[in-house]
Amino acid sequence: MSEDHEAPMINGVEHETGKEEEVLPFEEDDYGGVIVEMKTPMDPKCFIATLRYSFTQWRLQGKKGVWLNLPLTHVNLVEPAVKEGFRYHHAEPTYLMLVYWIPKADSTIPLNASHRVRVGAVVLNPNNEILVVQEKYGTLRGLDVWKIPTGVVDVGEEIFTAAIREVKEETGIDTEFLEILAFCQTHKSFFAKSDLFFICLLRPTSFDIQKQDSEIEAAQWMRFEDSASQPITHKNGLFKEIHRICSMKMEKSYTGFSTKSITTFFDDKLGHLYLNKQEMSNHIS
Amino acid sequence: MSEDHEAPMINGVEHETGKEEEVLPFEEDDYGGVIVEMKTPMDPKCFIATLRYSFTQWRLQGKKGVWLNLPLTHVNLVEPAVKEGFRYHHAEPTYLMLVYWIPKADSTIPLNASHRVRVGAVVLNPNNEILVVQEKYGTLRGLDVWKIPTGVVDVGEEIFTAAIREVKEETGIDTEFLEILAFCQTHKSFFAKSDLFFICLLRPTSFDIQKQDSEIEAAQWMRFEDSASQPITHKNGLFKEIHRICSMKMEKSYTGFSTKSITTFFDDKLGHLYLNKQEMSNHIS
């Protein structure tokens, strides 16, 4: 960046010179990079001077990636940061993360989140009825199509928890998670991002429907054969597969993935593994 | 914007008045929203005036969400947009997407992408050997741990394609995809985002290893039992499960999910469904 600083002589000289001797507060990451989170407001000029001085230090220390987290309240520093060579990495409603790669070698900055994750909930009751809804919005609105409850997995939420939550929200029905029957990946589903849709099998533990008014037009228990014989089930690949898998499941000739809590390899983080557990327990026993 | 406007008269007053009669160029989305992609440079003052006039029109038209796509080159408009009430939605290296919700009712703006998707590749050869690597970077570096090749799924890439690509890149081995054996979800794996890790079973079609120099320290075919008996395999939940599932697979007592191309329900988009296909074909035959 600039080792050749021409310090202003009058008007705040002392202040800026002072800042130039300070490095922005940062933390180190595990990959030779630094993370700067701007917590206190800063004047853009002062920010640039401090940033430039920080870069001279980080270069000397052989640092690689520089992450810069600018909260929404520090939006005045976005333009200066980009002009100093930062690029956007990702953003959430309250902050923008920028990044700068120092070495001449190719960047190993990890990619941004690439997928949205959704769930569809298959809830079958002991009378061979399936829980279905009609939505107020979306492409199937007004087409008299009955579909399984669906929704988006929240940040930090487990897939099976999301399925239970969506069913409760849309229909008032309580459920227990049994299996992931299948999942589907599509691309460019949401801006440039991809979509992973997990079809979850749930067992109902309550039966009285209380539908949500904001998003759901109607909800009911429907005879499974009636749901399977809707014209859309024959026309649409995913609808058809869901019903086909369900009928095999009802005949007990299909096994999906159920869950097991584990620790993962890299950092002993707790996670959930989804695997063919039924065969596994057969194997073990 | 305005080819038909004359230069400002005095102090730019006429210029700004002129701008106030124009709506920013926009496209409509399927949910009653508008999408503005700023393609030509604009002076921030002029941008604010045009934006305000646009909002009066959009409000009259009952529009809901306003999406504002600002390329990196238009970084000078980020601060004015935020001061007018926009919030960040997401960002990629070359652009920042902001959003504004007009109605008094709760926002139905969809969530940003929430997950990063990774693959791990189990490649077993006919001699009961597994393809393993040691990485140059990361938490396992220097620990003499042999692990399966892993990597991040690129934007728009199929999970099974990513597994084949990573094995080829890291070891030079050609493979065919067989099944997803299991998958694992963890949270806060990457900033606030979650991680989905798919364990793929691949069949090798070539056997001569040519390791990648940039990221891989060493690669080899290793006796499956030797891989399974590494101390880390016993210590770490995910390593242990991977080996356990593999040994069941080798005894043909485990079925994962394989793929089928389908069209999805909402928009006839082509996708890949991952499901227990072996049992399905048993069922059909």
User: Which residue of A75, A87, A262 is in closest CB contact with B237?
Assistant: A262
Question: Does residue B264 form part of some domain?
Answer: no
Question: Does residue B139 form part of some domain?
Answer: yes
Type and span of the H or E element at B246: helix B237-250
Question: Does residue A271 form part of some domain?
Answer: no
DSSP state of B147: B
pLDDT score, position B7: 39
Output the six-digit token pair for A142.
């007004």
Maximum CA pair distance of chain B? 85
Dihedral, CA of residue A180, residue A184, residue A189 and residue A194, to nearest 10: 80
Pair B119, B247 in one domain: yes
Instruction: State the complex-level ipTM.
Output: 0.81
| Chain A residue closest in CA terms to B113 | A116
Pair A37, A165 in one domain: no
Q: Which residue has the higher pLDDT, B186 or B177?
A: B177
Q: How confident is the model at residue B268 (pLDDT cuts 50, 70, 90)?
A: low
Which of A232, A275, A280, A283 would you mutate first to test chain B, the one with the most B CBs within 10 A?
Answer: A275
Are residues A92 and A218 in contact, defined by beta-carbon separation less than 8 angstroms? no
Question: Does residue B234 form part of some domain?
Answer: yes
In angstroms, how far is CA A114 from the centroid of its own chain? 8
Type and span of the H or E element at B167: helix B159-171
pLDDT score, position B267: 59
Q: Within a 10 A sphere around the Cβ of A222, how many other Cβ atoms?
A: 16
**B62: CATH:** 3.40.630.30
- Cross-chain residue pair B182–A276, CB shorter than 8 Å: yes
CA pair distance A199, B172, nearest whole angstrom? 35
SS3 string, chain A, reads CCCCCCCCCCCCHHHHHHHHCCCCCCEECCCCCEEEECCCCCCHHHHHHHHHHHHHHHHHCCCCEEEEEEEHHHHHHHHHHHHCCCEEEEEECCEEEEEEECCCCCCCCCCCCCEEEEEEEEEECCCCEEEEEEECCCCCCCCCCCECCEEECCCCCCHHHHHHHHHHHHHCCCEEEEEEEEEEEEEEEECCEEEEEEEEEEEECCCCCCCCCCCEEEEEEEEHHHHHCCHHHHHCHHHHHHHHHHHHHHCCCCCCEEEEEEECCCCCCEEEEEECHHHHHHHHC
Number of residues that this document lists for chain B: 285
Domain boundary among B101, B125, B149: B101
- Which chain B positions have a beta carbon within 8 Å of A95's beta carbon? 88
What pairs with residue B183 in β-bridges?
Answer: A274, B198
Pair A97, A120 in one domain: no
DSSP B11-71: TTHHHHHHHHT-PPP-EE-TTS-EEEE--S---HHHHHHHHHHHHHHHHHTT--EEEEEEE
Pair A119, A96 in one domain: no
Pair B93, B140 in one domain: no
Pair A95, A151 in one domain: no
Output the six-digit token pair for B275.
């499901």
Question: Does residue A273 form part of some domain?
Answer: no
User: Which residue of A79, A232, A238 is in closest CB contact with B262?
Assistant: A238
Pair A66, A140 in one domain: no
Question: Does residue B50 form part of some domain?
Answer: yes
Are residues B91 and A88 in contact, defined by beta-carbon separation less than 8 angstroms? yes
Lowest mean pLDDT among A46-50, B231-235, B254-258: B231-235
Question: Does residue B274 form part of some domain?
Answer: no
pLDDT score, position A253: 85
Question: Does residue B1 form part of some domain?
Answer: no
> Span B275-283, mean pLDDT?
65
- Number of structural domains chain A divides into: 2
Q: Cα dist. A205→A70, A74, A176 in Å?
A: 46, 49, 7
pLDDT in tens, A1-44: 444 444 433 333 344 444 447 899 999 987 789 999 999 999 99
Strand-strand pairing, B150-152 and B115-123: antiparallel
Residue B187 has pLDDT above 90, yes or no: no
| Chain B residue closest in CA terms to A105 | B214
pLDDT score, position B109: 82
What pairs with residue A178 in β-bridges?
Answer: none
Looking at the complex, report in whole angstroms how far the Cα of residue A196 sits from the nearest Cα belonging to chain B: 10
Pair A74, A165 in one domain: no
Query: Which of the listed ranges A67-76, A225-234, A263-272, B30-39 does the model predict with the highest average pLDDT?
Result: A67-76
pLDDT score, position A72: 96
Pair B81, B211 in one domain: no
- Which chain B positions have a beta carbon within 8 Å of A194's beta carbon? 117, 155-156
Pair A94, A32 in one domain: yes
**A132: CATH:** 3.90.79.10
| Chain B residue closest in CA terms to A95 | B88
Range of the domain at A82: 13-101
Pair B87, B121 in one domain: no
- Which chain A positions have a beta carbon within 8 Å of B92's beta carbon? 88, 90, 112, 192
Domain boundary among B34, B69, B101: B101
Pair A96, A127 in one domain: no
- Which chain B positions have a beta carbon within 8 Å of A183's beta carbon? 257, 273-274
- Which chain B positions have a beta carbon within 8 Å of A113's beta carbon? 112-116, 190, 193
Query: At how many degrees (to 10) do helices A277-284 and B237-250 cross?
Result: 80
| Chain B residue closest in CA terms to A238 | B264
pLDDT score, position B265: 55
